[in-house]
């Protein structure tokens, strides 16, 4: 590694933010070259018996001395791991030191263990909706190992290109774990993409010498975007529902049609997200949960009417949210009922509302694509251009306007 000088720091900290009943969990903190890792020591310490300046147990009793000796032994173990890596002339990183301390060697790592490690590490980073998809991919991997390889786990070193192509074929022929989510081509690609991200974790941590995905590229089939046209939107918007749950769901759906917000973003809204914009009118100002991208949406009359309708609603007052909320699963189930009652043949999900905002409500009415991209919270206008491609009628109208303004040369003039 040349003449690079590595730095090591080892200490202990008590996390008061995670404390309860006057006690807090104790963590080992390792720092290598400025990067930190914190490892729970699976013990709670009386906050009053901890010296926060020294990072040790406070006091001079025999018990305190015994506990601090244990901490010094742990610190010594970390330092030994650091020196072992130096002696082996291995790359010294925060991950290699931490994993050697935890007893995780490259040769010990298997695919199932890797998934378990990933899901544990990411539980406080990924949203539950995303994390549960990794659990599902892990289930398919376990099923593939048993049914096609007759094993319960496989060392990372044995992962080859053929393992990935075999997994793809198995997925396409497999009975879905969730009958409501069949293994179509794009669903299979999503599982393979998650597998790729988990394997990349092993490559980055140097538990796997070579990435088996180097020559394997998941390819998606672009699906036609589902959205409501003007007539379908009006049929839902002005339909009278005598059942309150359908009325709630319709209003949430229509609210999204006129704001472009996704289901999770609508669920997160509170009255604090309603602010006065640069034009003096009410705007929704929030951050997209999926991307943490800021979104500013001027509130159209159709959306404001729905906000006003639920101002004094008991469900809203209890939750502190802007609108009454259902689970996404229930929401989509009720939307199927609404589609039947409104004689709409399209497969209706809450996300169709966001597509409808992008197409029927904005682009078709002449809102520039740059503005639509901002309203949707897209990081790149290329993402928004997908919607522009589906609107042939707008293209036709734009060309007709061009025909009307272009001068026509009189062919009789020589």
DSSP E strand boundaries for 124-163? none
Per-residue pLDDT of the chain (414 residues; tens, 9 = 90+): 344 578 899 999 999 888 888 999 999 999 998 889 999 898 999 999 999 999 999 988 999 999 999 999 999 999 999 998 888 777 788 888 888 888 766 656 789 989 988 988 888 788 787 888 999 999 999 999 998 888 888 888 888 888 888 999 999 888 888 766 677 888 889 999 999 999 988 888 878 878 888 877 778 777 778 899 999 999 999 999 999 899 999 999 999 999 999 998 999 999 999 999 999 999 999 998 888 889 999 999 999 999 999 998 888 888 889 998 877 778 888 999 999 999 999 989 999 999 999 999 999 888 999 999 999 998 888 888 888 766 666 667 677 778 888 876 655 545
CB 316, CB 310: distance < 8 Å: yes
DSSP state of 375: H
Distances (CA, A) of 71 to 16, 23, 26, 57, 293: 19, 18, 11, 9, 43
Tokens 């609108």, residue located: 323
Do 259 and 297 touch, CB atoms closer than 8 A?
A: yes
Largest Cα span, the chain: 112
Work out the burial of residue 413: count CB atoms within 10 Å of its CB; fewer than 13 is exposed, 13-18 middle, 19 or more buried: exposed
CA-only gyration radius of the chain, Å: 29
Tell me whether residue 150 is exposed, middle or buried, using C-beta atoms within 10 angstroms of its C-beta: 0 to 12, 13 to 18, 19 or more: exposed
CA contacts within 13 A on the Cβ side of 36: 9
**CA-CA distance, 246 to 171, in Å (whole number)?**
36
Element (H, E) at 43: strand 35-46
Q: Which two tokens stand for residue 321?
A: 């949210």
As a whole number of angstroms, the distance between CA 357 and CA 261 comes to 9
**What residue has token string 């996390």?**
15
Report whether 82 contacts 91 (CB < 8 A).
Answer: no
Distance CA 273, CA 268 (A): 9
Contacts of 188 (CB under 8 A, 6+ apart): 168, 171, 172
Question: Phi, psi at residue 192, to the nearest 5°?
Answer: -70, -35
Structural domains of the chain in order of their starting residue, each with its CATH number: 8-102 (no CATH), 106-204 (no CATH), 230-400 (1.10.443.10)
Sheet with 8-14, strands from edge to edge, namely 8-14, 23-32, 35-46
């Amino acid at each position: 590694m040349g003449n690079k000088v590595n730095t090591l720091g080892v200490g202990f900290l008590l996390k008061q933010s995670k404390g309860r009943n006057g006690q807090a969990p104790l963590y080992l903190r390792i720092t290598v070259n400025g990067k930190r890792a914190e490892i729970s020591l699976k013990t709670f310490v009386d906050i009053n018996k901890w010296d926060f300046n020294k990072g040790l147990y406070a006091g001079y009793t025999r018990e305190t001395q015994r506990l601090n000796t244990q901490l010094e032994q742990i610190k010594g173990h970390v330092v030994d791991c650091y020196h072992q890596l130096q002696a082996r002339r291995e790359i010294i990183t925060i991950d290699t030191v931490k994993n050697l301390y935890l007893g995780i060697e490259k040769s010990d790592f298997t695919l199932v263990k890797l998934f378990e490690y990933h899901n544990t590490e990411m539980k406080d980073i990924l949203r539950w909706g995303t994390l549960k998809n990794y659990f599902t991919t892990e289930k398919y991997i376990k099923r593939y190992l048993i049914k096609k390889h007759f094993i319960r786990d496989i060392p990372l070193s044995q992962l080859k290109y053929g393992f990935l192509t075999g997994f793809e074929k198995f997925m396409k022929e497999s009975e879905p774990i969730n009958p409501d989510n069949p293994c179509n081509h794009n669903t299979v690609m999503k599982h393979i993409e998650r597998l790729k991200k988990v394997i990349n974790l092993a490559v980055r941590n140097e538990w796997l010498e070579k990435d088996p995905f180097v020559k394997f590229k998941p390819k998606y089939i672009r699906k036609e975007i589902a959205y409501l046209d003007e007539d379908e939107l009006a049929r839902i918007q002005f339909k009278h529902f005598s059942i309150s749950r359908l009325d709630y769901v319709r209003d949430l759906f229509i609210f999204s049609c006129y704001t472009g917000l996704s289901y999770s973003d609508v669920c997160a809204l509170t009255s604090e997200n309603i602010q006065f914009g640069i034009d003096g009118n009410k705007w929704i100002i929030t951050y997209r949960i999926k991307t943490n991208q800021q979104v500013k949406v001027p509130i159209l009359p159709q959306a404001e009417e729905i906000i006003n309708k639920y101002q004094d609603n008991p469900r809203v007052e209890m939750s502190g949210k802007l609108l009454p909320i259902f689970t996404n699963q229930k929401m989509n189930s009720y939307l199927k009922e609404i589609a039947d009652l409104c004689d709409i043949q399209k497969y209706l999900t809450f996300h169709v509302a966001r597509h409808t905002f992008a197409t029927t409500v904005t682009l078709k009415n002449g809102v520039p694509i740059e503005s639509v991209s901002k309203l949707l919270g897209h990081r790149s206008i290329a993402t928004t251009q997908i919607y522009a491609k589906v609107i042939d009628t707008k293209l036709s109208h734009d060309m007709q306007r061009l025909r009307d303004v272009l001068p026509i040369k009189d062919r009789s003039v020589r």
